[in-house]
Amino acid sequence: MGSITGDWRLKAARGKKIQQESIPKQWILAPERLPPTSQLCVIDVPKESGLLSEKELIITESTATSLVDKMASGTWTAEEVTIAFLKRATLGQQLLNFATEFLAEEAIARAKELDRIFHETGKIVGPLHGVPVSVKEHIGIKGRVCNAGYVSWMDYISPDDAVVVQLLQKAGGIVIVRTNEPQSLMAWLESDNNITGRTLNPHNRNLTPGGSSGGEGASMGFKCACLGVGSDIGGSIRGPAAFNGVYGLRPTAHRLPLVGLRAAGMGQDFIHGVVGPLGHSVEDLELFMKSLLDQCPWKEDMSLVPVPWRTAGPPATASLTVGIMKDNGLVHPHPPITRALELAEKKLIAAGVRVVEWKPYQYQESSDLTAQFYFADGGKAQRSALADEPLLPQTTLALAMGSPGGLDVSTSWDLNYQKEVIRAMHHAEWQRAGVDFVLSPAYVGVAPEHGTAQYFFYTALWNVLEQPAVVFPTGLQVDAKIDVADASYQPRSELDAREYAKYSPEKFDKVPISLQLAGKRWHDEELLAGAKVVQGIIAR
Amino acid sequence: MGSITGDWRLKAARGKKIQQESIPKQWILAPERLPPTSQLCVIDVPKESGLLSEKELIITESTATSLVDKMASGTWTAEEVTIAFLKRATLGQQLLNFATEFLAEEAIARAKELDRIFHETGKIVGPLHGVPVSVKEHIGIKGRVCNAGYVSWMDYISPDDAVVVQLLQKAGGIVIVRTNEPQSLMAWLESDNNITGRTLNPHNRNLTPGGSSGGEGASMGFKCACLGVGSDIGGSIRGPAAFNGVYGLRPTAHRLPLVGLRAAGMGQDFIHGVVGPLGHSVEDLELFMKSLLDQCPWKEDMSLVPVPWRTAGPPATASLTVGIMKDNGLVHPHPPITRALELAEKKLIAAGVRVVEWKPYQYQESSDLTAQFYFADGGKAQRSALADEPLLPQTTLALAMGSPGGLDVSTSWDLNYQKEVIRAMHHAEWQRAGVDFVLSPAYVGVAPEHGTAQYFFYTALWNVLEQPAVVFPTGLQVDAKIDVADASYQPRSELDAREYAKYSPEKFDKVPISLQLAGKRWHDEELLAGAKVVQGIIAR
């Protein structure tokens, strides 16, 4: 673990200082105007606090699609939109600690520039004109520290904006705030680190907003920004989206550029990390993808596939086949998830969708592969970056997943080939069953209590299989009266028992319930078009 | 190396027996009708032997494009075309030992079926209707042994045709013969093994036809088939194409399917092996790519990118910028190659093409990476497959390239990340220079003497960089009088001295000189369209 000297604390404090000094002072509420720390749900605080005007509440509760419409028609200015979100984000920061750094001045300056251009030309600069965006910290911003959750990386200054940020900005998006992530980024679904500390869930501050894009999850859940940019190698976009009751997409790899992101173990190529959007509707995820891919980023970054965004029309309900996997056969979902899936099934059938049971296929094998791949180097890349600071408990748990000492290349090749075979067999099974999408839990439960999020394989399956997957709210919330623990429950394994023991209805009462829909590799367009229909039916 | 028992000889003999028994008996010439083994160049033997009729000579000297035209107009039948090539291939086998197995009966039966369909419908079945094709042995054929050059794999029977073969057949192509490859397939540019032995070069039987698709090289050089299918991870299509004076394409990876190919170390994902065509014109390579990709193989094999073949129009000569790299700064090309490049430069400039010098960029780094990647497992996959048989000298040399014991995963990730950085920097340099293509040697010299082919980095560069590259004949041959060794030559290194010492004009007199043109990743279409123009000017 390396030597722990006083030094890491100084470096970490620098990160905390950047965070604190960047918070727009003019909108910080005095402690007495905030709810007591004992108040768990803070979702209604923006309305109650008096910080935001009625108009600002309407602005911050809009989707990106409607924001852009309003700015294109001259109804709202980019400046007032940006300020409204910055105010809400400042409040969010006081309540949730979701940000690592605000970019308020730059954001307002850019908003004014957009307003000037709009005023002069009568036109918006691009499809994301004036949309306030939050961006996960390890996605670099020019001239700013990019620490990826490691104290030892506090000296690294990004020489350029990450390409995904450049594309976003060219489309008119405005980065207003950078968001928190866990120490090591890898393999834990929460967001706590030695620099900026722990982020809380706006629906219940005893719960985690997820990770590793947990700052993004909280940002979207509290509506601190209109769109968010996260990254996902095992569920790091989808977990946070699910836990906060918002939308998140893990796109097919090699569609969006990774240049300018920082993480340990960058040469790991067995399971591809991706960047992707979080937002407040499927349409917004689509808007994000289209706005970026319409700029043909593959012309500059040849590691991307030259596949333009094809806007897919909504599939006819009667032509749809949805496979439903209620349980992966290894770890029982908690009662609220099962209830949501059963209700979804009924509604889909009633709407005329063909629904088939999707049996977990090679789940154990895929699960085993994942654990081996993430830390195939024996966690060396992580341990090296973590050498100077104490490990948080969940980092220790995550690092325990890998084989001590790591694999040799020969073994890693064998596993990599097995992975390819599993992908191909899974696709064949998918074709055989004739399913368009597979609906499943996004996680074993709803947002877990701090320090307890561990089992990420409901999302990681699609990373191993290299398929796109989207998470969305069902419109349902946990109901402590209905969602009682299943008396007939029998644990399948220690793992299963451990995960089921984390459930008790009262702890999660009124927390949103989300589900996950996966599509075919490369078919991100069809997945989003299908998700609009499927979510439309489920949340109806 | 494992124990060498009598057993491997029995297994190897089975492979030789399959080869021998498959040769169509009716066309085998008595030894006295063959040229003496001392006759090195056998290119004119088809004309001189009397085995092929005048019409059969014309047929076998046609391009695929014109063959299909002739069959589509009813001028030639698929049966007579297939028989003409089978006759020539039988002669080729007697002179060059290029085949591992003939598929004569099945081929003729399929040709008759195509003729029947054409007779009944008046239409050809597809864009490769009746085109005789040779296929490298490790590309599986249903129900037949697929040994990939390893004696220990003689028991493996392919359960299906490789997908690339299925696509070829659906387009109307007829597989008439399977072709030879080296022991271990990897990293040696010749074709000799313990099963079917050594393949010779039709231009000079003292020379190698190259490898690992060396059987394909000889097949194309002698016109045993009209199109060939090889594979390439460091030059295995392009070396053989260059050494035999024919055309060969290493396409961008993930465009053509690899399912059904066998090789050791399949999970190696640092440098992608690809399948690709060899043929008798750039148009034929284009026809092959288009015929296969028009079948949308990515709908079944999700590891392929969903990028249709876009037929690119020929670029205007005056709009073209060709970078010329005459020397990679590490190993001097032999005099004939330099002469061909200098002449090419003059002709391109005279034709109005913008020509710029392309300085070798990060060549040493790319070269070092390649050597480390191929045998990052310390050669374990190879050694395991080779356990039962004696190593041929060049296999021993190849295996010596890897770090003994192999890399750990951590180091391999670091190298893999370096590779990505080099690719991106190389692309940036390419953009900065404004080049469309880079023209360079395909190899340090023309076809080398048996047992001496070693330095493959003129081709392997494009594998590391993941860019498509095509090899074509210049229309020039070595002229022992002109192509004398350079008196001013000073070796740069032991490696350079070793490679230059292999040159002496007499050994290579009249052997064809080929060059290589590389294009941008994913731009296989533009590369072939450009190659038509560039080669047209160079070979004019």
Tokens standing for residue B330: 């590490």
Q: Write out the DSSP string of A37-78.
A: TT----TTHHHHHS-S-HHHHHHHTS-HHHHHHHHHTTSS-H
CB atoms within 10 A of CB A452: 17
Q: What percent of chain B has pLDDT over 90?
A: 92
* Binary contact (B412, A380; C-beta < 8 A): no
Maximum pairwise Cα distance, chain B = 68
Dihedral sign for Cα B256, B262, B263, B264, please: positive
Q: Which among B265, B300, B410 has the least Cβ separation from residue A381? A: B410
Tokens 């076998």 sit on residue: B60
* Res B2: pLDDT: 43
* Res A328: pLDDT: 97
Task: Please identify which of the residues A49, A236, A367, A514 carries the catalytic annotation.
Answer: A236
Architecture of the domain whose range is A12-299: Alpha-Beta Complex (3.90)
Q: What are phi and psi of A105, to 5 degrees?
A: -60, -50
Q: What are phi and psi of A19, to 5 degrees?
A: -60, -55
**Alpha-helical runs (H) found in B154-304:** 163-170, 214-222, 238-244, 282-293
Mean of pLDDT values over A148-172 = 97
Quick check: A250 and A274 in contact, CB under 8 A? yes
Chain B residues closer than 8 Å to A466 by CB: 302
Q: Locate the chain A residue with the closest alpha carbon to B270.
A: A269
Q: What percent of chain B has pLDDT over 70?
A: 99
pLDDT greater than 80 at residue A47: yes
Tell me the binding residues of B. 185, 212, 233-236
Q: Which among B267, B380, B431 has the least Cβ separation from residue A417? A: B267
Interface test with B, best of A413, A466, A523 (most B CBs within 10 A): A413
pLDDT per residue as tens digits for the range B125-175:
999 999 999 999 999 999 999 999 999 999 999 999 999 999 999 999 999
CA geometry: angle at A361 spanning A355 and A367, to 5°? 130
Residue A98 per-residue DSSP state: -
Tokens 């407040």 sit on residue: A280
- CA of A436 to nearest chain B CA: how many angstroms apart? 13
Chain B residues closer than 8 Å to A413 by CB: 265-269, 377, 381
pLDDT greater than 90 at residue B324: yes
CA distances from residue A157 to A144, A154, B114, B192 in whole angstroms, order as listed: 5, 8, 66, 54
Quick check: B15 and B137 in contact, CB under 8 A? no
Mean of pLDDT values over A289-309 = 97
Quick check: A237 and A230 in contact, CB under 8 A? yes
* Binary contact (B377, A410; C-beta < 8 A): yes
pLDDT per residue as tens digits for the range B335-369:
999 999 999 999 999 999 999 999 998 889 999 98
Q: Locate the chain B residue with the closest alpha carbon to A429.
A: B300
pLDDT per residue as tens digits for the range A131-140:
999 999 999 9
pLDDT per residue as tens digits for the range B212-232:
999 999 999 999 999 999 999
Domain definitions of chain A by residue range: 12-299, 317-538
- CA of A137 to nearest chain B CA: how many angstroms apart? 21
CB atoms within 10 A of CB A252: 26
Q: What are phi and psi of A246, to 5 degrees?
A: -125, -170
pLDDT per residue as tens digits for the range B501-528:
999 999 999 999 999 999 999 999 999 9
- CA of B306 to nearest chain A CA: how many angstroms apart? 7
CA geometry: angle at B380 spanning B376 and B383, to 5°? 135
Chain A residues closer than 8 Å to B521 by CB: 302
d(CA B540, CA B528) in angstroms, rounded, equals 17
B1: confidence class by pLDDT, cuts 50, 70, 90: very low
- Those residues of chain B whose CB sits closer than 8 Å to some CB in chain A are 259, 265-270, 298, 300-303, 305-307, 376-378, 380-381, 406-410, 412-420, 423-424, 427, 431, 466, 520-522
Maximum pairwise Cα distance, chain A = 68
Q: Locate the chain A residue with the closest alpha carbon to B408.
A: A408
Chain A residues closer than 8 Å to B431 by CB: 300
* Res B405: pLDDT: 85
**Stated length of chain A:** 540
- CA of A369 to nearest chain B CA: how many angstroms apart? 13
* Res B7: pLDDT: 86
HSE on the CB side for B362, CA within 13 Å?
Answer: 21
* Binary contact (B381, A424; C-beta < 8 A): no
Mean of pLDDT values over A166-195 = 95
CA geometry: angle at A227 spanning A221 and A230, to 5°? 85
d(CA A211, CA A181) in angstroms, rounded, equals 6
A12-299 and A317-538: same fold?
A: yes
- CA of B387 to nearest chain A CA: how many angstroms apart? 16
* Res B187: pLDDT: 64
3-state helix, strand, coil in chain A (%, to 5): 40, 15, 45
* Binary contact (B408, A269; C-beta < 8 A): no
CATH of domain B37-299: 3.90.1300.10
pLDDT greater than 60 at residue A3: no
pLDDT per residue as tens digits for the range B228-257:
999 999 999 999 999 999 999 999 999 999
Q: What number of C-beta contacts closer than 8 Å exist between A and B?
A: 112
* Res A6: pLDDT: 63
d(CA B497, CA A453) in angstroms, rounded, equals 62
Mean of pLDDT values over A449-471 = 97
pLDDT per residue as tens digits for the range B433-461:
999 999 999 999 999 999 999 999 999 99
* Res B403: pLDDT: 79
d(CA A462, CA A538) in angstroms, rounded, equals 22
A7: confidence class by pLDDT, cuts 50, 70, 90: confident
* Res B372: pLDDT: 87
* Res A5: pLDDT: 54
Beta bridge mates, A494: none
**Alpha-helical runs (H) found in A159-252:** 163-170, 214-222, 238-243
**Alpha-helical runs (H) found in B246-400:** 282-293, 335-350, 363-374, 380-385, 393-399
- CA of B422 to nearest chain A CA: how many angstroms apart? 12
Chain A residues closer than 8 Å to B519 by CB: none
Beta bridge mates, A99: A179
d(CA A87, CA A104) in angstroms, rounded, equals 10
Interface test with B, best of A369, A409, A466, A523 (most B CBs within 10 A): A409
B311: confidence class by pLDDT, cuts 50, 70, 90: confident
Quick check: B240 and B471 in contact, CB under 8 A? no
Tell me the binding residues of B for substrate. 185, 212, 233-236
HSE on the CB side for B503, CA within 13 Å?
Answer: 27
A2: confidence class by pLDDT, cuts 50, 70, 90: very low
Instruction: Say if strands A512-518 and A437-440 run parallel, antiparallel, or are unpaired.
Output: antiparallel
Chain B residues closer than 8 Å to A421 by CB: none
- Those residues of chain A whose CB sits closer than 8 Å to some CB in chain B are 259, 265-270, 298, 300-303, 305-307, 376-378, 380-381, 406-410, 412-420, 423-424, 427, 431, 466, 520-522
Q: Return the active site residues of B.
A: 136, 212, 236
Mean pLDDT for chain B overall: 96
Interface test with A, best of B409, B411, B421, B522 (most A CBs within 10 A): B409
Mean of pLDDT values over B66-82 = 98
Residue (of A443, A95, A163) closest to A300 by Cα position? A163
Q: Compare A456 and B188 and report the one with higher pLDDT.
A: A456
Put the strands of the sheet holding A174-179 in their side by side order: A99-102, A174-179, A132-136, A227-232, A274-279, A247-250, A469-477, A512-518, A437-440, A321-324, A354-357
A312: confidence class by pLDDT, cuts 50, 70, 90: confident
* Binary contact (A407, B409; C-beta < 8 A): yes
Topology of domain A317-538, CATH: Amidase signature (AS) enzymes (3.90.1300)
